[in-house]
Amino acid sequence: MLISGNGSNLQALIDAVEAGRLDGAICAVISNRAEAPGLQRARDHGIPAQVLDHREFASRERFDAALLEAIEHYRPDLVILAGFMRILSDHFVNHFSGRLINIHPSLLPRHKGLNTHQRVLDAGDHEHGCSVHFVSCELDSGAVIGQARVPVCADDDATTLAAKVQRQEHRLYPACVQLLCTGQVRLTDRGVTYQGQLLPPTGLDLTDSH
């Protein structure tokens, strides 16, 4: 897994593995920031945690080449981005095509990029949420695997919305990773399939109604 910060999604995946809800293991966590709290979460659970500081590389391409090598050392089936605050070069994305996924705090294709919670409020949206998607060369534009929705209420601000969305993220990400681990979800030339059936552009609706 690749992180840059808190690592609450990493924690959700660690919890899912430890609870036996995931047919997989997290083989390593790599952060571009040494101070990322998520690194300690990994170490606390016996997962190798490594820092690769992008500021020590002359270019994006060189950093990405070193990152690619560090990841391949572990021979992962999946590369999971969770709050990894770096734009990845085309070479990196293409190398891991079909096994590189990300979680984004909006109902894609709405609100690509940063500050999604405030932008949802500014747009007057009645609904918000999060999306897990395959990573493609265009930012936040890869094929969507699944989404979870939350209502936007009159008294919501960016902070309350962020908390609501994160609660959904912590369910959605392990659920999507499990579908990939079991081979039920795949990226094909036609788009994302679930049990062999092509999904709509918004993927599976994995909203928790409780």
Q: How many Cα atoms occupy the beta-carbon half-sphere of 126 within 13 Å?
A: 0
Q: At its nearest, how many Å lie between ligand GRF and the CB of residue 147?
A: 12
Distance between CA atoms of residues 5 and 161, nearest Å: 19
Nearer to ligand GRF, 24 or 37 (CB): 37
Pair of tokens at residue 133:
């998607």
Q: At its nearest, how many Å lie between ligand GRF and the CB of residue 14?
A: 11
Which residue(s) pair with 185 in the sheet?
Answer: 194
Residue type, 107: L
Nearer to ligand GRF, 3 or 30 (CB): 3
Binding site for ligand GRF (CB under 6 A): 3, 5-9, 38, 82-83, 103-105, 130, 166, 169
Closest residue to ligand GRF, based on beta-carbon distance: 83
Q: At its nearest, how many Å lie between ligand GRF and the CB of residue 105?
A: 4
Q: Which residues contact 95 (CB under 8 A, 6 or more apart)?
A: 68
Nearer to ligand GRF, 100 or 130 (CB): 130
Nearer to ligand GRF, 62 or 159 (CB): 159
* Catalytic-residue membership of 104: yes
3-state percent breakdown (helix, strand, coil) of the chain, nearest 5: 35, 20, 45
Q: Which residue has the tokens 């060189």?
A: 62
Distance between CA atoms of residues 186 and 178, nearest Å: 12
Q: At its nearest, how many Å lie between ligand GRF and the CB of residue 195?
A: 26
Q: Which residue has the tokens 């969507």?
A: 144
Choice among 73, 104, 126, 133 that is catalytic: 104
Residues with catalytic annotation? 104
